[in-house]
A and B are shown apart, each in its own frame.
Chain A
Amino acid sequence: MNNRIDPTLKTDLKKFGLQAWNDCFHCGNCTALCPLTEDANLFPRNAIRTMQMGLKNKLMSTVDPWLCYYCGECSDTCPRDANPGEVMMTLRRYLTSLYDWTGLSKKFYTSKIWELGAILLLGGMVVLAFVLFWPTISPELTADGGVRINSILPMQWIEWADWTMAIIVAMLLMSNILRMYIKIVHGEGAIKIPFHLYFKEAWQLMFHFSTQWKFSKCDGKRYWLWHWLLMSGYTIMFILIVVFLPWFQTEEIYKPWHPQRLLGYYATFGLLFGLTAVIIGRIRKNNAKFKFSHVSDWLFIFMLLLTVISGILIHFFRIYGMPMATYFMYVAHLAVLVPMIMIEVPFSKWSHLAYRPFAIYFANLRIAAMKYHEKTEISLATS
C-alpha cells in the first residue's frame, strides 16, 4: 500500500477550482446527512480527509466523488462552511484529469487558453473543411418546399465524419474508463473480484445510466427530472445523428407525428428545458449546487445551448425553404458540435456521462465481492 503524502496535491487541486481545503474539522455532518452514502462508501468526509492529508494514491483509487450527485445539503448545513459538495465536484474534475492518459484533460481544466484554443481550433477546422470543399448551393427546393439538404452536402461525408468522430471519442473514453477501472478496482485497498460478479452486476451499468436512479434519492425529484430530461435528450440526439443519420437527416418533410420528428422534438425539448433550468439556477445561485461555477461548467452549457439553437434553426430553415440560411447554419452547427463532443466528452465535463454509471458499477462490484468473500469464509469456517 502506497501511502506517500503528495505535498503538491493541494496546489494541484486549487487549479481545478478547490476553494477551502483546510476548513473541515471532521464532524461527520455531511456524511451522516448524505442520502446516498453507505457503510462501504462513506463520503464526502472521507474524501476530504484523504485530500487534506495529501494521499494522492488513495484519492486516485476512490470512487466516492462519482457517487455524489451534488444535492448541496451538506454544503448548506456544514458547520465550517467547508463546502463538501463543491469539494466533491472539484475532485470529479481532478479525477477526470487523472483518468485521462493524454494529459489534455488537465490542460483543458486548468487553462482557459488551452480549452478555448482547442475549441476554436476544432471549430475553425470544421469551417475550413467546408470552405475547401465548398459545395455549389442549389436554390432549388424539394416538392414539398424544403431545402435539398442532402444533394449539396453529401450525407455520406457527414456520416463518415460522424463515425470517425464517434470512434475517436469512444476509443479515448474507453481507454480512460479502463484506467479508471484499474485504479478503482485494482488500486489502493483492492480486493479480488470473482469473475462471475462482473456479469452479475452488469445490469447496474445500464440501469443507472438510463435512469440515474441515485440522483432521484437526492433533494427532491425536481433536479433529478431536469437532469434526466437533459441527459435523455442529449443521448437520443447523439444516437440519432451518429447512428441513424440517413434516417434522421432527410430531404422529405415528414408529418409532425412521424417518429423522426417526434424524437427530434423530444430531444430538443429535453435539452432546452434542462439547459434553461441550469442556466437560471447558475445565475440566481439559489441552490448550493449552483453557487460556484467553474469555467468548464459555463463553457459546457454555452456550447450545448449554441448547438441546440443552431440545430433548431437548421430545422426551420430547411422546412421553410431557405437554402442559404440552412447551409450557413449547418456549418455553424457543426463548428460548435464537433469541438463540444471532441473536447467535452473524453476530456471534460461530459465524461461524467460514462464515469458515473461505471463508478456505481465498480462500487457495487467491490461490495458484492466483499459479501462473496465473507460468505465463502464463513462456509470454510463452518466446514
Chain B
Amino acid sequence: MGEIKPTGVFLSYDGEALNGIDPHVLDEYVRKIPGIRKVWIAGEELEPVPQKILKEINDHKLKRIVLAGHEPGMCKSAFSLAMAEAGLDTDDVTLASFSEFGVSCLLEAKAVLYCSIFGIPFPEARKNGSARVLPETLVIGGGIAGIQAALEIADSGNKVYLVERSGTIGGHMAMFDKTFPTLDCAACILTPKMVDVGQHPNIELITLAEATEVKGSAGNFEVNIHKKARYVDETACIGCGVCSEKCPQTAYSEFDAGTTLRKAIYIPFPQAVPNKYLIDAANCKYIQEEKCGVCQKVCPAECIDFTEQDSDIKVKVGNIIVATGFKTFDAGRIKEFGYGAYPNVLTSLEFERLVNAAGPTGGNIRFRTQDKKGHWVFRPKGQEPKSLALIHCIGSRDRNYNEYCSRVCCMYSLKLAHLVKEKLPDAEVYEYYIDMRAFGKGYEEFYNRIKNEGVHTVRGRTAKISQVNGQLKLRTEDILNSRLIEQEVDMVVLAVGLEPGNDASALAEMLNIKREDTGWFLETETSCDHCGTLNNGIHLAGVCQGPKDIPDSVAQGSAAAAKVLQNILKGKVDTGVNGLHDIELRAKELSTIREDER
C-alpha cells in the first residue's frame, strides 16, 4: 500500500529558514519515505539547470520529481525540460507549495510535502470529515457587530443566543453621541436595533453572562453560559426607577466611562435593553453587609430578590460568532500626558460622554470638578473651557505600546472637534496629529469640512503635557511650519486607541482559535475571509478581529451571519483539520484508493 514511483525531491530555499522551516530537517524527513531516491537542497546540491537535472534523473533512475518550497514554481520549467529530455511525462513534476496553503510551521510543511509526494491535494488529506450542523447560533458580545449578526440570523428564522457580559446590549456605540462622517445620532441608529434584539422571537438575550466552557466541534457545540445574579426579576421589573432613587450607595458609572456616579441598583442608561434594573453586588450595602435593603421595600413590583444566585445555562449550538469588541488604551500608561494626574486631561471615551446630550452634563462641555465626597465628576453646572486640544495616536502607532493604527481615532477626533465647535463656537480647538487618516467614503470631505469650521490642525505629535497653575500646557513641534509650539489650553482630549479586551486570550483558549501578536483574533485570510477562523464553526465579527469603525463592524457582522447561514443551509460542516500523522495516513489511504480506481 502506498508505494510510489522512484521520486526525487528538490527543496528550494532562499537562504533563510522561514518560520523554522529548515530544508535540512525536511530533507531528513523526506528521505525516510519509501520510494524517495534523491533529495536536493537548492543552492547546495543542485542548480536548477536542465542539463544538470537530466544527469541526476539518469543517475538515480527517477520517474517523478517533487519541487517543494515557499514558491517552488519558480524553477519548474527547468525540471519540465529535463523530464521531457529524459523521455518522461512532464506532468510528473509536481509542486509542494508552502505559500499556497499558508504553511506557518514545520509540521504543516511536512504535511504539504507528504501529500505532494503521494499526489494527493493537501486540503483533501487535511479534512477530518464533516458533521451535521445544529441550526442554533451563539453570539458572544452584544455590541453593534454582535447585534447586527444576531438580527441577520434571527431574521432568517434561526434561533440565536446572544450573550452579553454587561447589563445591557449596545456596547461602545451606545456611548457615542454622533457617528462620523454623517454626524448621525448614534443612538437613533442603534437603539431601534437594540429594541429589535430585545423583542425578537428568535433571539434569546442573556445579559450579565459569559460563555465559560465550550465543548464539541463545529456544527455541534455544547456551551456553558454563566449568568451572574441580577437580583432583580427581569420578567417582573417595570423599570420605574423608584429603587434607584432611594438607593444610598454610589459608584462610578461604567456606561459614562467613569465621568459621573450611578447608584448601586441602576439601569446602565435609559434606553438599555433589557430595560430592567440590576444590582451591582460589590457596591450594594445589603449584599455586602446585610444592612439597608431600601430598594426591596420601595419596589412596587416586588421584583428584588437578594437571595438570587449565579446560574449556569447549557445551550447546544451549531455555530458561534465572536463579537467581543475591544477596550480603549489605558492613557495613564504614557506618563508624559499626565492622564489621571490632571483632571482636565480626558480620554476620548470620557469626552464622548461629556458631549453626549444624554451624558452627565446634558451635552454641555464643562470642567471636571470634585464633588463633596471627593469624586472627580462632570456636573451640568460650572465653567466651560475656552480652548481644547485633541491629541491623536495615543497608544497607537507607537512601538512602546501598540504598533498598529487603531483606524478610528483620526475620524472620531475630527467628529469631537466638530461637536466642540457646535457647542462652544468661540472655543479654539486644536488637533495634533501625526498623519490624518481619512480613508473611508466621505471621510476626506469630512476632514475638509472640519478644517473649514475653524479647527486648527497641527501636524506633530504632542510630546508632553504639563499643568502650571491649573493651566494645561502642550509642547509640540509644528512640523509643517518648522517651529515649536507651547500651547496653553483648558482641556485636553487624548484620542486613545483600541486594544483587545483583557480576557481575549482566555476566550481564544476556550474556543481554540488563534490570536495575532497584537492580540486581535486571527482570521483565516486577511483579504478574502475576514470572518473565518481555523475552526469552521467559529466566526469573527467586529473589532475583536482588528480595529475598525462602525460601518465596517456592521458589515462584518452581516458577513459572519452569512457564513453561519451558509453552514446551516448546507447542513454539513467540515469539523476540523488533521494533525501530521493523520494527514500521512489519510494521504496514503487516498493514494491507494486512486491506484485501485485506475
Residues of A within 8 A of B (CB): 25-33, 37-39, 42, 45-46, 77-81
Contacts and interface: CB of A to CB of B under 8 A. Distances in A.
B200 interface: no
B422 interface: no
Contact of B463 (A33, A46, A81): A33
A373 B381 CA distance: 53
Nearest to B462: A32
Interface in B443-495: 459-464, 475-479, 482-484
A81 B476 contact: no
Size band of the interface chain B makes with A:
20 to 34
B336 to A, nearest CB: 7
B333 to A, nearest CB: 12
Contact of A79 (B397, B459, B477): B397
Given A26-B479, A32-B476, A45-B477, A79 B484 contact: no
A197 B460 CA distance: 35
A27 B484 CA distance: 13
Contacts of A38: 484
12 contacts: A26-B479, A28-B477, A31-B463, A32-B462, A33-B463, A33-B464, A33-B475, A39-B483, A42-B483, A77-B400, A77-B463, A78-B400
Nearest to A76: B400
Contact of A27 (B461, B464, B482, B483): B461
Nearest to A23: B399
A301 B211 CA distance: 62
A233 B460 CA distance: 42
Contacts of B434: 25-27
B460 A28 contact: yes
A79 B479 contact: no
Contacts of B399: 78-81
B461 A79 contact: yes
A347 B461 CA distance: 38
B395 to A, nearest CB: 10
Contacts of A30: 463
B384 interface: no
Interface string B584-596: 0000000000000
A26 B400 CA distance: 16
A39 B484 CA distance: 6
Contacts of A31: 463, 477, 484
B393 interface: yes
Contacts of A79: 393, 397-400, 461
Nearest to B477: A28
Contacts of B482: 42, 46
A28 B397 contact: no
A80 B484 CA distance: 21
Nearest to A30: B463
B273 to A, nearest CB: 40
B477 A32 contact: yes
A80 B393 CA distance: 13
A26 B479 CA distance: 8
Given A31-B477, A33-B463, A79-B397, 10 more contacts: A25-B434, A26-B434, A27-B434, A28-B460, A28-B477, A28-B479, A31-B463, A32-B464, A45-B479, A77-B400
Contacts of B478: 28
A371 B477 CA distance: 22
Most B-side CB within 10 Å, residue of A42, A77, A79 = A79
A27 B475 contact: no
Nearest to B398: A79
A42 B481 CA distance: 11
B473 to A, nearest CB: 12
A81 B460 CA distance: 17
Contact of A32 (B393, B435, B475): B475
A25 B400 CA distance: 15
Most B-side CB within 10 Å, residue of A29, A78, A80 = A29
Interface string B261-274: 00000000000000
Contacts of A27: 393, 434, 460-461
Contact of A42 (B398, B400, B461, B477): B477
A29 B460 CA distance: 7
A160 B407 CA distance: 71
B116 to A, nearest CB: 39
Nearest to A79: B398
B398 A37 contact: no
A32 B400 contact: no
Contacts of A26: 434, 479
Contacts of A28: 459-461, 463, 476-479
Nearest to B396: A79
- Enumerate the 10 nearest inter-chain pairs by beta-carbon distance, A residue then B residue, closest first: A28-B477, A32-B463, A27-B461, A79-B398, A33-B463, A28-B460, A31-B477, A27-B434, A32-B477, A29-B461
A30 B463 CA distance: 7
Nearest to B459: A28
A374 to B, nearest CB: 16
B483 A32 contact: no
B463 A42 contact: no
Contacts of B398: 79
Most A-side CB within 10 Å, residue of B398, B399, B477, B484 = B477
Contacts of B393: 27, 79
Contacts of A46: 482
A255 to B, nearest CB: 53
Nearest to B435: A25
A291 B437 CA distance: 34
A137 B336 CA distance: 65
B397 A32 contact: no
Nearest to B336: A77
B465 to A, nearest CB: 11
Nearest to B483: A39
Nearest to A31: B477
Nearest to A27: B461
A78 B483 CA distance: 19
A28 B464 CA distance: 12
Contacts of A29: 461, 463, 477
A332 to B, nearest CB: 47
B484 A37 contact: yes
A329 to B, nearest CB: 50
Nearest to A38: B484
A45 B460 CA distance: 11
Contacts of B463: 28-33, 77
A38 B434 CA distance: 20
Interface string B111-131: 000000000000000000000
Contacts of A25: 397, 434-435
Contacts of B483: 39, 42
Interface in B280-296: none
B545 to A, nearest CB: 24
Given A25-B434, A77-B336, A79-B393, A42 B460 contact: no
Contacts of B459: 28
A32 B486 CA distance: 9
A119 B463 CA distance: 44
Contacts of B435: 25
Interface in B329-380: 336
A220 to B, nearest CB: 15
Contacts of B461: 27-29, 32, 79
B431 to A, nearest CB: 14
A46 B477 CA distance: 11
A79 B336 CA distance: 13
B49 to A, nearest CB: 34
A45 B484 CA distance: 12
A252 B462 CA distance: 63
A32 B336 CA distance: 12
A139 B260 CA distance: 89
Interface in B384-403: 393, 397-400
Interface in B518-539: none
Contacts of B477: 28-29, 31-32, 42, 45
A112 B399 CA distance: 33
Nearest to B335: A77
A46 B481 CA distance: 12
